[in-house]
Amino acid sequence: MSVALAGSPATNSAQYEPLRVMIVDDSVVIRGLISRWVEAEPDMVVAASLRTGLDAVNQLERVKPDVAVLDIEMPELDGISALPQLLAKKRDLVVIMASTLTRRNAEISFKALSLGAADYIPKPETTREPQAADIFKHDLLQKIRSLGGRVRRRASAAPAAPVIERVRDPHPAPLAPAAHTHHTVASQAALAKRSFGPTAPRVLLIGSSTGGPQALMAVVAEIGPVIDRFPVLITQHMPPTFTTILAEHLARASRRPAHEGIDGEAIKPGNIYLAPGGKHMRVAKQGGSPVIALDDGPPVNFCKPAVDPLFMSAIDVWQGGILALVLTGMGSDGMRGGKDIVAAGGSVIAQDEASSVVWGMPGAVANAGVCAAVLPLNQIGSKLVRLFAGDRS
């Protein structure tokens, strides 16, 4: 099946060259595996397959990649050391960090995001386990296509006006990489047609994926008054170990307690609850009070944890007293749950396209017509504070 480059105009999609992918990993097995997957896709090609970060830095100008899949642990020059050198040579290079699921590598991946990496992907412990390899393949190709295609669309949309783009977006990278310029503020505002629900919100639910860690940190840093009086529950698409560390980062950013949800624990104001990697986090009632309910069921929307289970389960507990926020991320997870929340009398806010790393999840809820607001990242925190203080406008 032929797959056109995501977002390319139908009129000249055939003229688009495939995305050039540079694979940098000291494992010959991983390099071979990713190379075969990439070469099998009609819209991407292997630009280079290299063993060290030093090779990548030295050959960058010759190879001219759009996307680099960069291992963390390598001889001569590791991934975290190579990253700033690569971005200094090619500012719009999309770098996806790849690492095994250790606490140290998860910490390094978070640091890489703050240094300008576009995303990260956990490598399976073994490539001999078919399901693990299939998930790795699906996620990696989706990230290459979506993130690489976004940079291509930006370049083709407004090659002569990068300065205007920066003026319009007060949050520079890495919090919010530069954005499309062909979507006006008016077109974003036109998506928000629904009024906020009549009921004052009693809980904040947040769903996010690609670009989510940076966006979450920015939001929780600004909503202290909300957290103090109401519980905040978050599902971020992320594997185990990574969610443990994300919770620690959220606690530091918000200066409030934040931890992975524990099955059966009471949900109380003043706390941030994060879905643990590898489990869906739902909510339930126990003795009339809300509690966390972890679920080891199959992936939903290719994700585990997924946003929809959290959103949908919350309706039985809080009915119309829900405010849901959908931040940057690939796919459409959160859309069905968002529709149900609005039908129950609650409200949904989406991050706008200009400040999103990928406008998949927020775009899905915005285009479904369920949002009461579609806002840039730097306006979301203050809006939440006002809404939870009683403002219904």
Say if residues 379 and 192 touch (Cβ distance below 8 Å): no
Catalytic residue among 171, 237, 249, 280: 237
> Annotated catalytic, 237?
yes
Q: What are phi and psi of 340, to 5 degrees?
A: -65, -40
Which of 209, 313, 332, 347 is labelled catalytic? 209
Q: Which residue, among 123, 118, 113, 94, has the nearest Cα to 34 in the 3D structure?
A: 123
User: Which secondary structure element, helix H or strand E, spans residue 74, and what is its range?
Assistant: none
| Spatial distance between the Cα atoms of 49 and 76, rounded to a whole number of angstroms | 16
* 340 is a catalytic site residue: no
Please report, for the chain, how many H helices and E strands are present, in that order. 14, 14
Residue 338's closest CA among 356, 350, 352, 328?
350
Exposed, middle or buried by CB within 10 Å (0-12, 13-18, 19+), for 40?
A: exposed
Angle between helices 242-254 and 103-114 (to 10 degrees): 50
What are the backbone angles phi and psi of residue 148, rounded to the nearest 5°? -65, -40
Active site residue 171: no
CB-CB contact of 152 with 66 (8 Å): yes
Please give the C-alpha separations between residue 24 and each of 68, 70, 75, 95, 215, in angstroms, as whole numbers.
7, 5, 11, 11, 27
Per the residue annotation, which of 71, 333, 340, 352 is the catalytic one? 333
Question: Which residue from 178, 120, 196 is spatially nearest to 377, judged by alpha carbons?
Answer: 178
Catalytic amino acids?
209, 237, 333
